[in-house]
Amino acid sequence: MSLDVIILAAGQGKRMNSKLPKVLQPLAGRPMLAHVLDAGRALAAERLVVVYGHGGDQVRAAFDGQQDLRWAHQAEQLGTGHAVAQALPECGEGMALILYGDCPLIGAATLRRLLEAAGGERLAVLTAQMDDPTGYGRIVRDEAGRVVRIVEQKDADAAQKAIREINTGFIAAPLARLRQWLPQLRNANAQGEYYLTDVIALAVADGVEVASVLSADAWEPAGVNDKRQLAELERVYQRRQADALLAAGVTLIDPARFDLRGRVSHGQDVEIDVNVILEGEIRLGHGVKIGPNVYLRNVTLGDGVVVKANTVIEDSTVGAGSDLGPFARLRPDSVLGERVHVGNFVEIKKSRLGDGTKAGHLAYLGDAVIGERVNVSAGVITCNYDGANKFVTTIGDDAFIGTDSQLVAPVTIGARAYVAAGSTITLDAPEDALTICRARGQKSIDGWKKPVKNK
Nearer to ligand UD1, 169 or 319 (CB): 169
CB 33 within 8 Å of CB 52: no
Report the C-alpha gap between 190 and 397 in whole angstroms: 78
In angstroms, rounded to a whole number, what is the distance separating the alpha carbons of residues 320 and 356? 11
Asked if 79 and 193 count as a contact pair (C-beta separation under 8 A), the reply is yes
Q: Is 361 a catalytic residue?
A: yes
Report how far residue 178's alpha carbon sits from residue 120's, in angstroms, rounded to the nearest whole number: 13
- 137 vs 366, which CB is nearer to ligand UD1? 137
Interface stretch with ligand UD1, choices 108-116, 163-171, 352-360, 402-410 (CB under 6 A): 163-171
d(CA 423, CA 44): 64
Asked if 220 interacts with ligand UD1 (CB under 6 A), we say: no
411-423 residues labelled b (16+ CB within 10 A) or e (exposed): bbbbbbbbbbeeb
The set of residues, in sequence order, having a beta carbon less than 8 Å from that of 249 and lying 6+ positions away, is 268, 269, 270
Question: Please, which residue, 78 or 415, has the CB nearer to ligand UD1?
Answer: 78
- Does position 152 interact with ligand UD1 (CB under 6 A)? The reply is yes
Sole window of 160-168, 248-256, 263-271, 357-365 interacting with ligand UD1 (rule: CB under 6 A): 160-168
Binding mask 206-225 for Ca ion (x = CB under 5 A): -----------------x--
Task: Identify which range of 100-108, 156-164, 251-259, 271-279 contacts ligand UD1 by CB under 6 A.
Answer: 100-108
100 binds ligand UD1 (CB under 6 A): yes
Q: Which stretch binds ligand UD1 (CB under 6 A): 110-118, 194-202, 248-256, 339-347?
A: 194-202
- Alpha-helical (H) ranges within 335-375 are none
Residues in contact with ligand UD1, shown as a per-residue x/- string from 131 to 150 under the rule CB under 6 A? -----xx------------x
Closest Cα to residue 306, out of 286, 324, 282? 324
Does residue 174 belong to the site contacting ligand UD1 (CB under 6 A)? no
Task: Between 169 and 354, name the residue whose CB sits nearer to ligand UD1.
Answer: 169
**CB 81, min distance to ligand UD1, A:** 7
What distance separates the 2 farthest-apart alpha carbons in the chain?
Answer: 110
CB 34, min distance to ligand UD1, A: 15
CB of 299 to ligand UD1, least distance (A): 35
- Compute, in degrees rounded to 10, the torsion defined by CA atoms 97, 101, 102, 103: 40
Binding pattern for the stretch 222-241 against Ca ion, x by CB under 5 A and - elsewhere: -x------------------
CA 61 to chain centre: 18
The binding track of 33-62 with respect to ligand UD1, each residue x by CB under 6 A or -, is: ------------------x-----------
Q: Which residues contact 368 (CB under 8 A, 6 or more apart)?
A: 351, 352, 353, 382, 384, 392, 393, 394, 395
Q: How far apart are CA 265 and CA 163, in angstroms?
A: 45
Q: CB of residue 3 vs ligand UD1: minimum separation in angstroms?
A: 20
CA distances from 372 to 351, 415, 416, 423 (A): 13, 9, 10, 22
Q: How far is the CB of 13 from Ca ion (least distance, A)?
A: 10
- The one catalytic residue among 35, 82, 286, 361: 361
The whole-angstrom distance between residue 162's C-alpha and the CA centroid of its chain comes to: 39
Determine the size of the site formed for ligand UD1 (CB under 6 A).
26
78 interacts with ligand UD1 by CB under 6 A: yes
The residue (of 52 and 237) whose beta carbon lies closer to ligand UD1 is 52
Task: Give the span between the Cα atoms of 350 and 332, in whole angstroms.
Answer: 6
Active-site residues: which are they? 361
**Where do contacts with ligand UD1 occur on this chain (CB under 6 A)?**
8, 10-11, 51, 74, 77-80, 82-83, 100-102, 136-137, 150, 152, 166-169, 195-197, 223
**Where do contacts with Ca ion occur on this chain (CB under 5 A)?**
223
